[in-house]
Chains A and B, each alone.
Chain A
Amino acid sequence: MTTRLDGPEKVTGAALFPADVVRPDFLHAQIVFTDQPHARLVDLDVEPARAVPGVVEILTAADIPVNEYGLVFRDQPVLIGPGNELTAVAENISRWEADQLCVVIAENIEAARAGAAAIKVEWEELPILGDIDTSLQSTVMLHPENGLDTNAYHHLRIRKGDIDAGWSEADVVIEGTYEVPYQEHAFLQPEAAISYIDEEGRVTVEIAGQWTVEDQEQIAHALDLPTEAVRVKYPAIGGAFGGREDMSMQIVLAAAARKLAARGIRRPIRCQWSREESIVGHHKRHRGRIKARLGARRDGKIVAVEADCYLDAGGYNYTSNKVLGNLHLCVGGPYEIPNARIDSYAVYTNAVPGGAFRGFGAPQGAMVAETQMNKLALALDMDPIELRLLNSLRDGSMGITQAEMPLGVSLPFVIDAAANAASEEFQVGELRPVATLPSEESAIRRGRGFACGYKNVGFSFGFPERCEAAVELFGDDEVERAILYHGAAEVGQGSHTALRQMAAMAIGIDYERVETVYSDTATSGDSGSASASRLTWMSGNSILGAVEEATKKWNDGERPARGEFRFVPPPTQTLDPVTGAGQPNFAYGYVAEVVDLSVDIETGHIRVDRVICANDVGRVINRTLVEGQVEGAIVQAHGYAITEDLQVKDARITNPRLSAYLIPGIDDIPAEIRTILLEHPDPRGPWGVRGMAEMPLVPYAAAVVAALHDATGVWFHQLPLTPSRVLAGLTANPL
């Protein structure tokens, strides 16, 4: 078993995270948030801050040459204020409490904070569109530059088959409205970075991110520089989960280093966010509301699906239109659905932006689709497993967007594996009662629930997908050693270990003989992001290509032999605006879960006693890393389903602390996680690999909801299932 490449430095404290780089000549930066969910800047006076002893420089909107950014489209000013008027988006309006106003750079952090406090700013308050409903009803447009007369700025449709004929065929109809909550990434390492001008004159940012080249390009755009004048380098990354996919402090720190350099000051700048700044200052998993209808014949065959989905995008798009697309694909479930009408909307509000978080729309979709299916099974008096297998997508099936599913649809296998483990290995025996709360045994109810799901692997909907690798082979007659150059981000998932393993496999030499150079735009190409369960899949293919190129040169006698390769998977498509037809993805992962839980009906506390997770990973490259992804994803899903409750009032987050936003601790987690890894090869994956790291998060909440229903007879349509919510639900629906 290959242990982690980064294990020794991480267990000795030697690993350097972005806040761990200490240089004697550091300057310190304090980023000032507007603290205004919706307001127009009337006056900004930074002169009092300049007068604070120790303050060296202040960065404002006027210092950003092209004051706009965004991962998918550029709808956000880098800094709020009078800028250079080169952007479509109005620069002087704050649309989010954590919009950034300016950056104070000082000799020490105390001076930087004192400078920040001395800034004089005057705002004209604008109506706060604090949630989806308010925003949809308002005549105030948050982004008038897009020319729309609604804040529902992105609308996706599916029109498949004949929906009226579908309803007339339906013997049973299930309806429900679901409220899905925000989720905060809560990676343990708050945002931090350093910036400086490197030895070759490049403005350089060292930060924890997910995609070096994307960071580099966004910095270059805003600073109006050629990309090669910008360098992005990742030191150790303290977790990401999608929360580092968008810019936090990359652009402003690069701009600050350039501004100082122009004054002849060549000192590195450091910036660190507190936990509160981190929670307020980056996007969340989207909250949303989904109204769904599901129709089936008496024999269990699905005949119709309808859904209206609304996601709260917050003040800016981030990746909302893509997350919405994923929800759109998942909200009907991974089933053969002959007739469908689905309308999905992303809505601008003044609340915290929604964006990437492990699962990327699929967990919200699965919560709806699988709860609907579990209700249908009950209504039909049919086994929920049998119902799934009857309707499951298979090879040759047409997906919800009227395109054939990419080959290797293994949903029936994961459903069988989870169900078999539940019925054969785990007869419900003696389960422990809720651990921490004394309770009458009679107050404990137990239940079991099932759910399954699918999610795309890799970028979707026509977003350019690629992955580059370079390999050098050294030796005389035989390859003695090799070097792999790759941009892949090691966010904790183990990519740097798995990529080295794959390079060794591709070359046919020992793991120990492969050296690696990672995550620096100065040395490595475009890997694409550590997201979408894509990195092993895409990187493996890029490594196979690079090794093939290097081997050709090796055979021609070149020493060392260098091969470079850019892997591009089959193209995907944006969906047809009217029917939603199109091929959105080139690969999927499949997963099924069984949850056993105990609930105390007097307190509302839920304890999950066991989770069985059957995940098709195609081919295991490193078993312990893969199992670690399953366990970690399930515990994050547990937080999403039960413990994590982000409070937002008047578009402001009111509990931005780990003492009040409760990610699972060791006493909260499922007592037992049984991981079943299936290896049905993905025909397009390297060595058959499938993407896997998001899948276990996808169906968990729905499985918990089903188990809670099994235990109490009550359906819950809103997450998280905190004790107070559970108790309220049980009180409203007496057993």
Chain B
Amino acid sequence: MKIALTVNGRKVGGELEPRTLLVHYIRENLNLTGTHIGCETSYCGACTVIMDGRPVKSCTVLAVGADGADIMTIEGLARDGQLHPVQEGFWERHGLQCGYCTPGMIMAAVGLLEQNNNPSEDEIRHGIEGNLCRCTGYHNIVKAIEYASAKMRGEQPAPAEWEVTA
């Protein structure tokens, strides 16, 4: 089957097997390997990308189902070498350790903040409850998203605990 779609602002497409999953298309055909596979059963969220403005787990989407769609992966988030505020937040607020869940977690957070630019802590938790992390214990991930949320509203992020106690 032939598909045509936009990935990170670039027109891509071509012939592929109808059963190809979007995550495999992104990783193997486009060589965008920042989108990770952790389970292939839609449980872990490591493969989360933004599809037409909403976060989706790309292991649950057939590539043919993304025909005509506008997809953004982790590689499309930084602009002109400037990290997106969510990326900056995960780095600044130590929202990652091994980093394997991080791209999916970041894309889920980007999707959340596009819907709601000032989420409460509970809303942040709800927004990323489909994404698993085995390293951090999640608390710093919430702080990373709070940091990004403030930045995206043009506000100064609340200082980290270590900045307060230092």
A interface with B by C-beta (< 8 Å): 1, 3-4, 6-17, 19-20, 22, 185-190, 236-241, 274-275, 491-494, 623-625, 627-628, 631-636, 657-659, 663, 665-667, 669, 673
Contact = CB atoms under 8 A, between A and B. Distances in A.
Closest 3 CB pairs of A and B: A13-B34, A492-B98, A10-B99
A647 B88 CA distance: 40
B54 interface: no
A239 B36 CA distance: 14
B22 to A, nearest CB: 16
A238 B160 CA distance: 26
Interface in B66-113: 73-75, 77-78, 83, 87-88, 90-92, 94, 96-103, 106
B10 interface: no
B137 A632 contact: yes
A274 B40 contact: yes
B162 A10 contact: no
A1 B93 CA distance: 11
Given A12-B83, A188-B44, A275-B38, A632 B100 contact: no
B46 interface: yes
B32 interface: yes
27 contacts: A1-B160, A1-B166, A3-B94, A8-B91, A9-B99, A10-B102, A11-B88, A15-B34, A187-B100, A188-B36, A189-B36, A189-B100, A236-B98, A236-B100, A275-B39, A492-B96, A628-B136, A631-B140, A632-B136, A635-B137, A658-B44, A659-B41, A663-B134, A666-B131, A666-B141, A669-B137, A669-B138
A490 B61 CA distance: 33
B129 interface: yes
A7 B78 CA distance: 14
B99 to A, nearest CB: 3
Interface string B45-70: 01000000000000000000000000
Nearest to B35: A13
Contact of A275 (B41, B74, B78, B138): B41
A667 B127 CA distance: 11
B136 A15 contact: no
A4 B94 contact: yes
B30 to A, nearest CB: 10
B36 to A, nearest CB: 7
Nearest to B127: A666
A236 B99 contact: yes
B3 interface: no
A13 B75 contact: yes
Given A10-B96, A238-B100, A657 B43 contact: yes
B163 to A, nearest CB: 8
Interface residues of B, number: 56
A657 B39 contact: yes
A638 B91 CA distance: 25
Contacts of B103: 11, 13
Nearest to A658: B43
B4 interface: no
B101 A188 contact: yes
Given A8-B91, A188-B134, A669-B137, A493 B100 contact: no
Contacts of A239: 97-98, 100, 134-135
Residue from B88, B100, B166 with most neighbouring chain A CB atoms (10 Å):
B100
B137 A673 contact: yes
Contacts of B33: 13, 16-17, 19-20, 22
B68 to A, nearest CB: 24
Nearest to A669: B138
A658 B39 CA distance: 7
B130 to A, nearest CB: 8
B100 A17 contact: yes
Contact of A12 (B31, B77, B100, B125): B77
A667 B125 CA distance: 7
Contacts of B133: 188
Contacts of B38: 188-190, 275, 658
Contact of A494 (B34, B37, B97): B97
Contacts of A238: 36, 98-100
Given A237-B98, A657-B39, A492 B135 contact: yes
B160 to A, nearest CB: 8
A183 B139 CA distance: 22
B7 interface: no
B162 A624 contact: yes
A187 B162 contact: no
Given A12-B34, A187-B98, A632-B136, A7 B39 contact: no
A626 to B, nearest CB: 10
Given A6-B99, A11-B83, A12-B77, A663 B132 contact: yes
A323 B158 CA distance: 44
A491 B74 CA distance: 21
B15 interface: no
A19 B142 CA distance: 28
A611 to B, nearest CB: 10
A188 B100 contact: yes
A11 B100 contact: no
A240 B43 CA distance: 20
Contacts of A627: 94
B91 to A, nearest CB: 4
A13 B32 contact: yes
A658 B41 contact: yes
B132 A665 contact: yes
Given A11-B96, A189-B38, 10 more contacts: A1-B162, A14-B34, A14-B75, A628-B140, A631-B139, A663-B132, A666-B128, A667-B125, A667-B129, A669-B139
Given A1-B162, A492-B135, A667-B125, A15 B140 contact: no
Given A7-B96, A657-B39, A631 B137 contact: yes
Contacts of B78: 12
Given A12-B34, A17-B36, A188 B162 contact: no
A492 B97 contact: yes
Given A11-B90, A657-B39, A666-B125, A4 B96 contact: yes
Contacts of A658: 38-39, 41, 43-44, 132
Contacts of A1: 160, 162-163, 166
Contact of A188 (B41, B46, B141, B163): B46
Residue from B97, B133, B142 with most neighbouring chain A CB atoms (10 Å):
B97
Contact of B132 (A188, A492, A623): A188
B94 A624 contact: yes
Contacts of B166: 1
A33 to B, nearest CB: 18
B28 interface: yes
A175 B151 CA distance: 57
Contacts of B94: 3-4, 624-625, 627-628
Residue from A10, A13, A190 with most neighbouring chain B CB atoms (10 Å):
A13
A623 B40 contact: no
A350 to B, nearest CB: 27
Given A11-B83, A12-B75, A17-B100, A631 B34 contact: no
Given A632-B136, A632-B137, A188 B40 contact: no
B125 A657 contact: no
Contacts of B101: 188
A62 B137 CA distance: 45
Interface in B135-158: 135-142
Contacts of A636: 134
B120 to A, nearest CB: 14
Contact of A189 (B34, B91, B98, B141): B98
A628 B97 contact: yes
A11 B31 contact: no
Contacts of A492: 96-99, 135
A632 B40 CA distance: 24
Contacts of A493: 97
